[in-house]
Amino acid sequence: MTELEWLRQENRRLAKENLYLRTMLNEHGIAWQEKLEVQPVAVIDKKAEEQRRINLFMKLFVARRDVYAKRWETTEGRKGYSPVCANFWQDVCPKRLRKPVKCHACSAHKWQPFNEHVARQHLLGTDENAKSFVAGTYALLEDSTCKFLVFDFDDHDGSACNWQDEALGLRKLCHTYGIDSALERSRSGNGAHVWLFFAQPIPAKTARLFGRLLLEKGAEVMHQTDFNTFDRMLPNQDEMPAGGLGNLIALPLQGLPRKQHNSVFVNEHWQAVDDQWVYLSNIKPLTADFVAEKIKAWGESKAVVVEEERADYIDRLKPWERKRVLSLEAKDFVGKLQIILANCIYISKATVKPRSLNRIKQLATFSNPQFYKMQAMHYSTKQIPRRIQCFREVDDYVTLPRGLLFDLTALLSETKVPFVFEDCRNQGNAIKVYFKGKLQSGQQEAADAMLAYDGGILGAATGFGKTVLGTYLIASRKVNTLILVHNRELMRQW
């Protein structure tokens, strides 16, 4: 007998028994029918419910109320956000006069406030003219405080899953420390925002320090695939820039993307929460005291130093004062570390705990001069990472450039971590070449020093004879050689 047949048979037996019992109760005059109480139909005041949602939306997400931004898109495909101004394209507007003046620098600007009408249009996704409408808020308040902290994750390295893993990892970390967070799938569906709310505005510098320390705690237990997570905190500035509005964040619950289940809050399975408004109303905001307690606890435990702050400090030093300070934990390594030399340095992720592995990755991470150049000129740094990362994750390995071998071994030796090498480098093809000439004394000194090592960098002034020295090294090694140059003149010279 199949399970389905058994269930049908059981159903028939219970129905027959039920009929018999009701008959017996009737014969003995025992009342058995339950009186059904008519429940009053809940009357929902749609207007009041709409107002409640708008109030909650503005309380949680709208930072500055005196100005907001609106999304635009041209027929050529250009898109972005601009502050909404009552004088836009009027006679006094520099854009109408073809003058290259930024909106925030315009003396004639007249910002439009973010009110309930704007919130309603954003949530519906259309304005009064039935055109698409998406609003953004400026995260920094005028006194350099903020009411929320947002971590932005996206498909930054071409992998469709990394941003999801990182966002869920941070969400889990928040739960571990008793921090209520809200996970939003972005407008495009290819990214996520993790929102933390504050019970009252706190200094942005404090909020960002809290966020960096939280990420630092995460680095002890989770592999970081991108150290630029430190730069994707919003607000991304500690103080309001002079004459500016600070950075912008697109608001969630956008009307049109919401129909595709984007720009909504999701659970750990990336499914949209059934009732977005009940979910948001149950989030417990963080108090200033809670934030201060966590900063103190995390900052004092084992003298934690956030790598982001350390890197910024190093960037401000004079070139001759800079010294990279990194340390590993011997207990983070499983047995003897195997270092595989091939086209890169390969280190197995399974043999190193996240804390020390993240610090090894930082050997291949350095400041991006383009970021600081744009920042100094008060230009947008959007899509320009603060850090340039030369490490990669390939299957179960982390790879570093071979030029970091000395730094890596020095770091391991300082921590007294035992290691072994496995040389899998391509040895190349032997060639028969001879150097017919004589090096100058300076060139010969440099050549002797370089030939003592497998790799290195020669830095010399114009006219030193680097090309000649290069041919000498090729003739000495007698192996096929790849020569890379950055202009045609050097190519012809070679």
Q: What is the pLDDT of residues 429-479, one digit of tens each?
A: 999 999 999 999 999 999 999 999 888 889 999 889 999 999 999 999 999
Query: What is the pLDDT at residue 42?
Result: 56
Under DSSP, the state recorded for 112 is: P
Distance of CA 326 to the CA centre of its chain: 23
Query: What is the pLDDT at residue 89?
Result: 79
Q: CA geometry: angle at 414 spanning 413 and 418, to 5°?
A: 30
* H/E element, 12: helix 3-27
Dihedral of the alpha carbons of 411, 413, 415, 419, in degrees to the nearest 10:
100
Instruction: List per-block mean pLDDT (blocks of 10 residues) for the chain, which spans 494 residues.
Output: 72 81 76 59 74 94 92 86 85 77 77 93 88 92 93 63 80 91 91 94 93 81 57 81 81 91 92 92 94 86 43 48 66 89 92 85 86 71 77 89 90 90 92 94 94 90 92 95 93 90
* Domains along the chain with CATH numbers: 140-289 (3.30.70), 305-423 (no CATH), 441-493 (no CATH)
Q: What is the model's pTM?
A: 0.62
| ω into 235 cis (within 30 of 0) | yes
CA distance 270 to 163: 12
Q: Is 122 buried (19+), middle (13-18) or exposed (0-12) by CB count in 10 A?
A: buried
CA distance 331 to 415: 10
458 φ/ψ angles, rounded to the nearest 5 degrees: -105, 125
> Are residues 212 and 305 in contact, defined by beta-carbon separation less than 8 angstroms?
no
Q: What are the DSSP E strand ranges found in 221-260?
A: 233-234, 248-250
